[in-house]
Amino acid sequence: MALHDFSRHATDILIAQMNADPGIPTSNPSVSGWQVPPHPLSEARSANLPPVTEFAIIGSGASGCSVASNLLQNELSGDQRVTVFEARTLTSGATGRNGGQLLTHIPKFYKTYAEAHGKEAAGRIARYALRTVDKMVDIAYSEDLGACEVRKVRDVMAFEDEEGFNAAVSSVRLYEEALSEENDKYSIIDKDSAKKHHQLKNAVGALTATAWAFWPYRLFTGIFQRLLDRYPNRFSIETRTPVLSIDYAPDTDSKYPYILSTPRGKVRASQVFHCCNGFTSHLLPRLQGKIFPYRGTMSLQGLGAQEPNLGSKNLWLFYRPSTYDSRTGILDSKLYYQHQNAVTGEIFCGGGVRRLDGIIKSDDEEVPAETLETLEHFGSKMFDRPASGQKAEGEDTSTPFKHLQAWTGIMGMTPDILPFVGKVPQSVTGRAAEGGEWIAAGYSGYGMPQCWSCGEAIARMALGESKPDWLPEPLLLSEKRLTDGRLSPEAALTYFVSPH
């Protein structure tokens, strides 16, 4: 599938959606299976909104959690106050709605990054992602957050088309050549082996490597709980307190020049951190079209009578060629993902087909019927064994699966498939001066191997430290990057419809 397969009308729809204001998160989102039951801090807020804070963090997902943690635990912050503003309940956005997989995505994208930024920069991007994965695992164990169920597994990346498979193999081989420490980490599996050892009936081949699976909502809410316990006089979480606007008024208070307006009142801040991912351009409208919401769907399904529980062994990524039906307006996702709860065997499955007008969207209240139908039957299409919830021979098969729950989540996408990290330039804020606004957002669906390091980087820089050596230059929100053709809407469209 190529960009020319879209009609002009279709591309106009998508580009208009990219350039639109995402608004603030809806107040009544679909219920994520990860967030059941809710953490005791889910509705945490002060009795009275603090009038001032040194550090205002907008968003309570992985990035916001990292910023808070790295500010509070850095001695340079002294006794300065840190406040997290969350539009809904704690960690209720993409971090609390994702696929539960923790692995680096760079090997598959390495060739793309090397061609765009050079081999040295691509290598730095690769190592930064590996650093983040290691950091996340270390935090889960060091904080004794057993509830997040972090575990080492084997990632099985299956491909349905030769072109996509060959491109991935080529990229992985270049990745291994560039990073000697990653040499031979990936195994290539042919079609016959994929079917024999992994029951993948439609795969032309697969790649396997070590990865991690975990319960993201529990990890980050657990970290927030520990931060509140350790820093009760310096740290506060304000849920159901969306930031509606930001004004800059240093003439009325030079120490706290930023004014954050919320439904509960105004708060003045010394520095502001934009960690709201797909909703970023609502408060920074000059980034509209450069970062935009992308709605994904997840489902929770019961274990079938004959289906094994491989939750402690495997997770799966399925890559298929993108297809678009101009008659129905349906775009089939090129990526599906799945893993199991190691305790219950319940299956988390995401991806699916979407209507063209329901892709670049910031509304996570609804679960599209056409997407859910795809996910309900996905197991039977991919595996040569009974699909999720299918009955054993001789049992009633009127229900093809045991559906438990489904929800949507809003990711933040950038056309060049790299997040925006660092100080927000004056050309973006439109303020009278370039002050203390920072950003860590736009992970393009790959937040878990990136968020923590990005949040750590901007926290350290906000405290006066220099840019960490491990933070790759291409991630910085620079003037040069903002004017690069790789950040155009057309570039985003090309990525979405590419075969690999």
Would you say residue 376 lies in a domain? no
For 329-359, how does the pLDDT look when each residue is reduced to its tens digit (9 = 90+)? 888 878 899 999 998 899 999 998 889 889 9
Would you say residue 40 lies in a domain? yes
Q: Which tokens belong to 434?
A: 């370039």
* pLDDT at site 495: 67
Q: Which tokens belong to 201?
A: 């009936």
Which stretches of 46-172 are assigned E, i.e. beta strand? 52-58, 82-85, 101-102, 151-159
* pLDDT at site 306: 67
Would you say residue 232 lies in a domain? yes
- Distance (Å, whole) CA 448 – CA 100: 9
R_g of the chain computed on alpha carbons: 22
Would you say residue 444 lies in a domain? yes
Provide the number of structural domains found in the chain: 1
Q: Which residues pair with 261 in a beta bridge?
A: 245, 266
Output the domain CATH number for residue 471: 3.50.50.60
Mean pLDDT within 195-207 = 93
- Distance (Å, whole) CA 168 – CA 166: 5
CA atoms lying within 13 Å on the CB side of residue 438: 28
- Distance (Å, whole) CA 22 – CA 285: 9
Would you say residue 268 lies in a domain? yes
For 297-328, how does the pLDDT look when each residue is reduced to its tens digit (9 = 90+)? 999 998 776 678 888 899 999 998 888 888 88
Q: Which tokens belong to 126?
A: 């690769």
- pLDDT at 386 exceeding the cut of 70: no
For 22-69, how does the pLDDT look when each residue is reduced to its tens digit (9 = 90+)? 999 999 999 999 999 999 999 999 999 999 999 999 999 999 999 999
- Residue 459: other Cβ atoms inside 10 A: 28
Domain of residue 226, residue span = 8-99+217-291+415-497
- Distance (Å, whole) CA 39 – CA 41: 5
Would you say residue 353 lies in a domain? no
* pLDDT at site 388: 45
- Which residue has 């399904």 as its token pair? 301
Of the candidates 67, 39, 64, the residue with the CA atom closest to the CA atom of residue 217: 39
Give 284's pLDDT tier (boundaries 50, 70, 90).
Answer: very high
Whole-Å CA distances, 453 to 203, 241, 330, 333: 34, 26, 36, 28
- Distance (Å, whole) CA 437 – CA 56: 10
Would you say residue 188 lies in a domain? no
- Distance (Å, whole) CA 268 – CA 55: 10
Q: Which residues pair with 56 in a beta bridge?
A: 83, 272
Would you say residue 205 lies in a domain? no
Q: Which tokens belong to 214?
A: 């975990």
Of the candidates 293, 283, 277, 275, the residue with the CA atom closest to the CA atom of residue 66: 275
- Three-state SS at 258: strand
Cis? peptide before 293, omega within 30° of 0: no
